[in-house]
Amino acid sequence: MLDIRQILADPGAVQKALQNRRETLSLESVLSGEQELSALRKRWEALREQRNRLAEEIGRKKRNGEDVSARMEESRSVNTEIASLESELRKREEELQTQLLLLPNIPHDSVPVGSDERDNPEVHRRGSPRSFPYEPLPHWEIGARLGILDFDRAAILSGSRFSVLRGMGSRLERALSAYMLDQHTGTGKDRPSGKPYTEVSVPLLVRGEMLEGTGQFPKFREESFAVPEDSLFLIPTAEVPVTNLHRESILDEAELPIKYVSCTPCFRREAGAAGKDTRGLIRQHQFLKVELVWITRPETSYDDHEELTRDAEGILEGLGLPYRRISLCTGDIGFSSAKTYDLEVWMPAQGVYREISSCSNFESFQSRRAEIRYRPRDTKKPRSVHTLNGSGLAVGRTIAAILENFQEQDGSVTIPDVLVPYMGGVRRISPPGS
């Protein structure tokens, strides 16, 4: 959520930012709504003051045995006025709040202006794609031939966009999760932030307020799987429970940055994605993801964002997967984000780079919604923290990338060296019977 004072201070700049985002919302009704609200609020406060004074006077006089019936009558009439004002006030407040919750974050100055994904500049490329002496197979073919990936059975269990991993496929998922978690909980000592990530295991079902806190609600409600019977929602990413871990609290500056890593299944309805990426592990209703979350100070958040992104890149480099980093332009950046880098891994069968991680700085957009603040050492007055997160990495897509990049002509797949210990020493997954 944007700070209403920031909007008031420079509505032109905010409107400009919305335009850059290709967002058609206008600030006019927000501005007029806020103006009316503040007038109503002042009137209401004055009446409350009057009522409080009367109540105090009545109490005092009563103790002295004086007659207070006239004052009580007066107070009653003030109360009816307060009540009518209050209902109006509440209505206006809700209207304004609804509008504010639908306003996206303002992109950082360093974010390139652009219309859509075609305008996302590449920051850098690492690793070189292998050249294949044959037509490389897509990962779903490889997985099926190896007997480790089964979409047909998953469809019977749960419908489309679900998968079953079997044998070494399932083991590969576990190995990747463990490798990533180990890397992140081990990194940091030699970094500017000076500390490794703390691993957390969190609930996969959360209340709606948590999703509002991180920005998924109210705008993207239809993207979430719901359990209406219990008013709970399946998390679309670990970002939601992990960031909200510190909701409604004031942290000590000395605690910052707080760095978490969490491996969870993620659940997405993919409501707007009908017919898109219908094959393979790329777009599933359920997938495993290792998520990095930082809660940090505003002064360092952009340096921290670079560091977080480097941490995610470290996994791709460790696995030997070719990838590139792109910087999302104003027209493509996510609703809650002020700046986002996407990491895209090379997928040989399609001959394209595909998103495997998205690393964002939300500045105080989430922390204002979730009320996560810290007390600066010098000023003592609480300030909103900045929150960051990024995938480190999406495990399902990493499996897909490994199968495609490290496939061999005989149908086998070579396991990256760093994963071998996690695979129980297995260096290669081979087709059954070979």
Partner RNA sequence: GGAGAGGUGGCCGAGUGGUCGAAGGCGUCCGCCUGCUAAGCGGAUGUGGGGCUAAAACCCCACCGAGGGUUCGAAUCCCUCCCUCUCCGCCA
Instruction: Give the separation between CA 377 and CA 383, rounded to whole angstroms.
Output: 11
CB of 299: closest distance to RNA in angstroms? 18
Site track for RNA across 179-208, x = CB under 7 A: ------------------------------
Give yes or no for residue 16 binding RNA (CB under 7 A). Answer: no
Amino acid letter, 349: A
In the bound state with RNA, the residue whose beta carbon lies nearer, of 330 and 387, is 387
Strand 286-296 vs strand 258-267: parallel, antiparallel, or unpaired? antiparallel
Task: Find the part of the chain contacting RNA (CB under 7 A) among 44-52, 97-105, 237-245, 261-269.
Answer: 44-52
Give yes or no for residue 75 binding RNA (CB under 7 A). Answer: yes
In the bound state with RNA, the residue whose beta carbon lies nearer, of 72 and 227, is 72
Site track for RNA across 377-396, x = CB under 7 A: ---xxx--------------
**Contact residue for RNA among 39, 72, 271, 352 (CB under 7 A):** 72
CA distance to 201, 228, 390, per residue, from 356 (Å)? 22, 31, 10
**Contact residue for RNA among 52, 110, 158, 170 (CB under 7 A):** 52
Strand 372-375 vs strand 249-252: parallel, antiparallel, or unpaired? parallel
Give yes or no for residue 97 binding RNA (CB under 7 A). Answer: no
In the bound state with RNA, the residue whose beta carbon lies nearer, of 71 and 166, is 71
In what helix (H) or strand (E) does residue 358 lie, and over which residues does it extend?
strand 352-361
- Written in H, E and C, the secondary structure of 368-389 is HHHCEEEECCCCCCCEECEEEE
Give yes or no for residue 227 binding RNA (CB under 7 A). Answer: no
Instruction: Give the separation between CA 57 and CA 395, rounded to whole angstroms.
Output: 68
CA distance to 71, 77, 80, 337, 402, per residue, from 59 (Å)? 11, 18, 20, 53, 77
**Contact residue for RNA among 45, 255, 299, 306 (CB under 7 A):** 45
CA distance to 230, 277, 333, 399, per residue, from 173 (Å)? 31, 21, 29, 7
Could you give the residue numbers annotated as active site? 268, 283, 355, 358, 397
Give yes or no for residue 55 binding RNA (CB under 7 A). Answer: yes
How many residues form the binding site for RNA (CB under 7 A)?
29
Instruction: Give the separation between CA 308 and CA 229, rounded to whole angstroms.
Output: 38
CB of 76: closest distance to RNA in angstroms? 5
In the bound state with RNA, the residue whose beta carbon lies nearer, of 49 and 306, is 49
Contacts of 1 (CB under 8 A, 6+ apart): 100, 101, 103, 365, 368, 369
**Residues within the interface to RNA (CB under 7 A):** 5, 38, 41-42, 44-46, 48-49, 51-56, 58-59, 62, 72, 75-76, 79, 90, 250, 373, 375, 380-382
